[in-house]
Structure 1
Amino acid sequence: MEKSDSPKIEECLEVVPDPPEKQISYSAFTNGRRKLILFIVTFAGFLGPTSGNIYIPLLPLLQRVFNVSTTSINATVSVFMAVFAVAPLFWASWADFGGRKTLYIISLFFFILANLLLAVVPANIGALFVLRILQAFGASSVMSVGAGSIADITEPKRRATAISYFLMGPQLGPILGPILSLIATDGQWRWIFGFLTIIGSIVYLMILFLLPETLRYLVGRGDSSKGWFVKPKLFQKRTATEEFPKPPKPSLRIYWKLLKFTPLLLCSLNGGFLFASFYGVSITFARVLQIDYGLNVWQTSISYICPGIAMISGSLFAGRLLDKISTKIIKEHGKHIPEKRFSLQVIGLIISMAGMVGYGWCVQKHTHLAPIYIMVFLAGFGMTWVFVGNTTYLTECSTGQPATNVAIGNVMRNASAAISSAIIDKVISRIGFGWSFTIFGFIDLVGIGIVLVLMRYGQKMRENFELNR
């Protein structure tokens, strides 16, 4: 059997020597340090989604402990998701301006503090609401700021694979969260917040002593950062010897300007539409398994391994394939043109659409469980396939603010998920499971239309934006 020529993680992070006439590499960080940075930001990315999902299986217990209604305890989930969706806009814009590490240190401090207080303060519903908001505010930064860190140290032709590894953190959170909630046995619900405090503190120490600043405006390619250990400091002075454009100071005007950047807006909408349809699968999956097929809590939790494997494999496979296409594009055109890779997203959208439509009709016809698992796998595989391409493009689309771009994409994604969760039950009750997910699946046709527009006009729009910046 021949060895696969797909790039491995070492290759994705390794700086490929430039031709003699181009001796300057994209990043001066050693291969080992780039892998360490990738590991730390991926581990940090695991915290937020885990915090949201480790909590959900305990809602009936928490309702009894806090002596409140179902609506009130469910609202603690809603406020977490709302803050988690919007807060990255605040963190990301400052990370693009003042430094990545500063934002990691500040935001994760709030996260650890919130979890510590949740683990020890008396049960009070008002305190629960306030601390869940603080918990979400602190955890929300890492997805967008982490993508910015990856963009700082990984050249575009290697970046999709690096992004695919980074996304494993946020993708594993929703899968492992419900399983990890089993540590709250015998009603010991405070242990979930104690656990989050412990792993959050581990990540925090790694960031303090092992994670260097990577913002290119401040440190350039990282030439001045030597050794594996770094001295903890809240703010990084500018040491860059090369001239990198100064990022704009955060303001509402900057966000308005970015939202008028058509490729960024279309890419974010594409991700939002796709995640809205997949979220319909995600939130009905457990109920289908327990009510329609009689699975218990353990069996349902283990069943989430299926979409977990789908998302991880789809992410890694798409990342490697995107980078192989980038290499071919550079050979053919002499430069990296990110829009040339968008044709690959059509495949992911079709796979996801097939999975969602199939899931709906398998549930309605009450088939054997095996076809349902297969369809959920296809829906997750296609969704994350597209998500890797979208996230990579958001770090490349010429605004000079990769973390802010990814944050805008995340807002679109989370807002779409919130709308999907609000309407899915009503839609199913009116037209049935099969037709509901046929409609959700065919929303991906809008995504295919967006991809075709970006393939045709994206490069020109991006170049015009660069000229008028």
Structure 2
Amino acid sequence: MSLNDKSPETSLNEKSEPKIDEQDVLPVPKPAYTAFTSRRKWFAIIIVSITGFLGPLTGNIYIPILPQLQQVFNTSETAINATVSVFMAIMAIAPLLWASWADFGGRKTLYLTSLLLFILANILLAAVPANIGALFVLRIVQAIGASSVMSVGAGTIADLVPPKERARAISYFMMGPQLGPILGPILSVIASGGHWRWIFGFLAILGSLVYLVILFFLPETLRCLVGNGSRVPMNGWFVQPHLIQRRIITEEEACNYPKPPKPSLKGYWSILKYKPVLLCSFNSGLLFAGFYGMSVTFARRLHDDYGFSHLEQSFAYVCPGVSLITGSLIGGRLSDHLRKRMKRKHPERYTPEHRFSLQLVGLAISMCGLLGYGWCIDKHVHVVAVFVFTFLGGFGMTWVFVVTTTYLTECSSGQAATNVAIGNFFRNACAAVSSVLISELTDKMGFGWCFTGLALLDIIGFAIVLLLMAKGPAWRLQWEEKKRGVAS
């Protein structure tokens, strides 16, 4: 037998295992980021945006009627302002609890649970006798119910929208919360003539309608439970209502979607030690303190210094409200454009921290707005100038805010809602302190110097942004390596 002859066994093996040309092997296509259709995805974003409208609406519909409530409840200006502070304080703390469970047990469950508390609190506020103690307690419950949506909503966006389009989607989502400062004061006119209870009745009705829309039309999106949504059971636009979503993807598929550990105090402390989240959140808190000091004093100064009626005060809030929306939309689009350009020119060098360069512009605009607003009020400059600087303050703040929120959804995998909730904690905590102290500070320091101090806090923001741009990539790499080490 020659060396070229082949045995029958060899021939049989060759027939049973034919050679495959490497060119015939096609790469396994990568699953789409989301299996929801574009229409279904944007419908979900609209739903969570409307839901996000409830918290800011609840806070801002209340502010213009503070003088009326001060008389009805027979209390001091400081005490009635404290009902704003306690609301903001709870809005700061409660999302930490809501969001961690939303990253672990499902988005929809948290929406439905928190909204029930919100509806109940507003029904009681509309019905119980006027008592300052009851007002404080029910404002706390109201805030607990309204607090989940900002952080959980950002988590829903992260589930549905890939990073390359996320800043634009978040800017649209933020239009819901940002309509609160516009429509809240306008809608407060239903309290004119002493009918302040109608405000809480209106909020209860609106909350109930939103609850039904979420129950029947919003699918669960948490990726460690439903993956990219390809297996979520739906009948057209209708979703079978249920409170708890069980995991519907396999164990193997679940490995592709990071799942955070169960919520715990240790877990919160670990995330707070993560420098990018901590610094981002602290920066947003300082910025929001200045804006909220401006927002809380705006109506009273227009009334006392410029003779605005209650109706005129309410419509005046259109100015800062429009500034929030325009700053968000422009900042979001520019942030995505900056990411796209950097990925195209230097794909190997791109990091999420590149978005921060836009924040330097927003911080400068915010600083100008706070300085101008304070000194215009102090020197009784024409009211048009007050509106211009109020617009700039809101525009710069939300320009920074949309970039920060987008970054918080990108800087750590599997816990977008928790990261945004920590940012929300710092913002609302600073707003609570600002709203309770601003009257005393302006009385003792004068408006000009008080708001000069608030504006100078933005210098800290400049330093934080530059630090994150320089050190953020290394900090993120260390964090991810640490998470992988714990998981293994």
* TM-score normalized with structure 2 length: 0.88
Partners in 2 of 1:260 and 1:443 — Cα distance? 22
Query: CA offset at residue 68 of structure 1?
Result: 5.0
Residue 379 (structure 2) aligned to one of 352, 365, 369: 365
- Structure 2 match to 1:234: 243
Partners in 2 of 1:293 and 1:66 — Cα distance? 26
| Residues 63 and 285 (structure 1), Cα distance of their counterparts in 2 relative to 1, 3 Å cut | closer
Q: Is the 8 A contact 2:84 2:432 kept in 1?
A: no
Question: For 1:327-338, what aligned pairs fall within 5 Å after superposition?
Answer: 327-334=340-347, 337-338=351-352
Query: CA offset at residue 82 of structure 1?
Result: 2.0
Amino acid at match of 2:357: S
Partners in 2 of 1:127 and 1:363 — Cα distance? 35
Q: Is the 8 A contact 1:178 1:301 kept in 2?
A: yes
SS at match of 2:380: coil
- Structure 2 match to 1:133: 140
- Structure 2 match to 1:169: 176
Question: For 1:177-188, what aligned pairs fall within 5 Å after superposition?
Answer: 177-188=184-195
Query: CA offset at residue 71 of structure 1?
Result: 5.1
| Residue 202 of structure 1 pairs with residue 209 of structure 2 | yes
Q: Is the 8 A contact 1:216 1:240 kept in 2?
A: no
- Structure 2 match to 1:5: none
- Structure 1 match to 2:11: none
Partners in 1 of 2:402 and 2:224 — Cα distance? 25
Amino acid at match of 2:84: V
- Structure 2 match to 1:118: 125
Q: Is the 8 A contact 2:303 2:313 kept in 1?
A: yes
Q: Is the 8 A contact 1:45 1:170 kept in 2?
A: yes
- Structure 2 match to 1:275: 288
Partners in 2 of 1:295 and 1:122 — Cα distance? 30
Partners in 1 of 2:145 and 2:379 — Cα distance? 44
| Residue 323 of structure 1 pairs with residue 332 of structure 2 | no
Amino acid at match of 1:239: I
- Structure 1 match to 2:96: 89
Partners in 1 of 2:128 and 2:273 — Cα distance? 45
Q: Is the 8 A contact 2:164 2:340 kept in 1?
A: yes
- Structure 1 match to 2:467: 453
| Residue 32 of structure 1 pairs with residue 30 of structure 2 | no
- Structure 2 match to 1:14: none
Question: For 1:10-409, what aligned pairs fall within 5 Å after superposition?
Answer: 23-68=30-75, 70=77, 72-225=79-232, 226=234, 227-241=236-250, 242=253, 243=255, 244-334=257-347, 337-409=351-423
Instruction: Give % identity.
Output: 62
Query: CA offset at residue 379 of structure 1?
Result: 1.0
- Structure 2 match to 1:3: none
Partners in 1 of 2:296 and 2:90 — Cα distance? 19
Query: CA offset at residue 64 of structure 1?
Result: 4.5
Query: CA offset at residue 187 of structure 1?
Result: 2.2
Partners in 2 of 1:166 and 1:411 — Cα distance? 19
Query: CA offset at residue 174 of structure 1?
Result: 2.5
| Residues 75 and 281 (structure 1), Cα distance of their counterparts in 2 relative to 1, 3 Å cut | closer
| Residues 406 and 132 (structure 1), Cα distance of their counterparts in 2 relative to 1, 3 Å cut | same
The alignment covers a number of residue pairs equal to 450
Q: Is the 8 A contact 1:221 1:240 kept in 2?
A: no
Partners in 1 of 2:433 and 2:133 — Cα distance? 26
| Residues 340 and 75 (structure 1), Cα distance of their counterparts in 2 relative to 1, 3 Å cut | closer
SS at match of 2:304: helix
Q: Is the 8 A contact 1:96 1:401 kept in 2?
A: yes
Query: CA offset at residue 205 of structure 1?
Result: 0.6
| Residues 100 and 201 (structure 1), Cα distance of their counterparts in 2 relative to 1, 3 Å cut | same
Query: Which shifted more, 359-368 or 319-328?
Result: 359-368
The runs of at least 4 aligned residues of structure 1 exceeding 6 Å deviation read none
Deviations for 1:349-377, whole angstroms, at most 9, x for unmatched residues?
11111111122222223222222211111
Higher CA-based Rg: 2
Query: CA offset at residue 422 of structure 1?
Result: 3.4
Q: Is the 8 A contact 2:293 2:435 kept in 1?
A: yes
Q: Is the 8 A contact 1:92 1:404 kept in 2?
A: yes
SS at match of 2:239: coil
Amino acid at match of 2:224: Y
Deviations for 1:353-412, whole angstroms, at most 9, x for unmatched residues?
111112222222322222221111111111100000011111111152111111111111
Query: CA offset at residue 293 of structure 1?
Result: 1.6
| Residues 384 and 71 (structure 1), Cα distance of their counterparts in 2 relative to 1, 3 Å cut | closer
Query: CA offset at residue 305 of structure 1?
Result: 0.8
| Residues 296 and 344 (structure 1), Cα distance of their counterparts in 2 relative to 1, 3 Å cut | same
Q: Which 5+ residue runs of structure 2 have no aligned equivalent? A: 1-26, 484-488
| Residues 132 and 432 (structure 1), Cα distance of their counterparts in 2 relative to 1, 3 Å cut | closer
| Residues 68 and 269 (structure 1), Cα distance of their counterparts in 2 relative to 1, 3 Å cut | closer
Amino acid at match of 2:258: P
Amino acid at match of 1:188: H
Amino acid at match of 1:50: L
| Residues 324 and 394 (structure 1), Cα distance of their counterparts in 2 relative to 1, 3 Å cut | same
Query: CA offset at residue 311 of structure 1?
Result: 0.7
Q: Is the 8 A contact 1:329 1:337 kept in 2?
A: no
Amino acid at match of 2:292: Y
- Structure 1 match to 2:455: 441
Amino acid at match of 2:368: A
Partners in 2 of 1:76 and 1:334 — Cα distance? 50
SS at match of 2:381: coil
Partners in 2 of 1:133 and 1:431 — Cα distance? 31
Query: Which shifted more, 452-461 or 330-339?
Result: 330-339
| Residues 250 and 298 (structure 1), Cα distance of their counterparts in 2 relative to 1, 3 Å cut | same
Partners in 2 of 1:187 and 1:196 — Cα distance? 17
Amino acid at match of 2:237: W
Query: CA offset at residue 63 of structure 1?
Result: 4.3
Q: Is the 8 A contact 1:62 1:73 kept in 2?
A: yes
Q: Is the 8 A contact 1:360 1:438 kept in 2?
A: yes
